Amino acid sequence: MLLEVLTPIAKSWPSEWCLEANSLAIQVHGGYGYTRDFPVEQYWRDNRLNMIHEGTHGIQAMDLLGRKVLMEEGKGLQLLGARMQATMARASREPALADHAKALGQALTDVGAATQAAWATGNPTDALANAVPYLQACGHTVLAWIWLDVALTAHAAPDTPARTGRLAAMRFFFHYELPKIGAWLRVVSQRDTTCADLAEDAF
């Protein structure tokens, strides 16, 4: 059941956000990144496929919100929450990680509340109108959990540049990325139909 709920996230999160790493690699190289002098532009185009094949992003998102989180009355999401709670309990005992554990706890609560709100009318058209932002928010929450787990191991390790880098990457994710879920979950919770309501000829 845990795998059922994690599968659309494991497929889609890297498809969307590791592509961003390829885009930043182009940026770091400046104009040379855009040309074919370095292979980074090729990596971007090759990896752009990942949001399309093996279940497009939109279809994976509908699978998550329309099927996986509903199975056995939300058992998959509960199992995932229990795993996250165990990591949070360990992290909250470390003063340097306690605030991050708290932020993850809030994200998990927000995902749960948005799931309920999305399905409050019981109408799939309302709930699934914002399935992609829901997938993005769930993915970022899962990645925050993974970073907290990495940080727990790094925190206990000897002081090396790699340790410093891992702890900084964790802080970056919590400070710059995790807060984005607020905007994503807002439209989910409000069952916002701005996009779904637009007539085809208005596009």
Binding site for ligand FAD (CB under 6 A): 49, 52-53, 56-59
CB distance 57 to 115 below 8 Å:
no
Report the residue number, 15 or 87, with the smaller CB distance to ligand FAD: 15
Distance in Å, CB of 183 to ligand FAD, minimum: 21
Distance in Å, CB of 128 to ligand FAD, minimum: 8
Per-position DSSP letters for 113-157, written without gaps between them: HHHHHHTTT--HHHHGGGHHHHHHHHHHHHHHHHHHHHHHHHHTS
The whole-angstrom separation of Cα 188 and Cα 114 is 6
Distance in Å, CB of 126 to ligand FAD, minimum: 14
Residue 54 falls in the annotated catalytic set: yes
Report the residue number, 47 or 92, with the smaller CB distance to ligand FAD: 47
Distance in Å, CB of 113 to ligand FAD, minimum: 24
CB distance 65 to 134 below 8 Å:
yes
Report the residue number, 156 or 202, with the smaller CB distance to ligand FAD: 202
User: What DSSP designation does 29 have?
Assistant: T
Q: Which of 20, 54, 72, 73 is catalytic?
A: 54
User: What DSSP designation does 183 have?
Assistant: H
Residue whose C-beta lies closest to ligand FAD: 58
Q: So which residues are the catalytic ones? A: 54
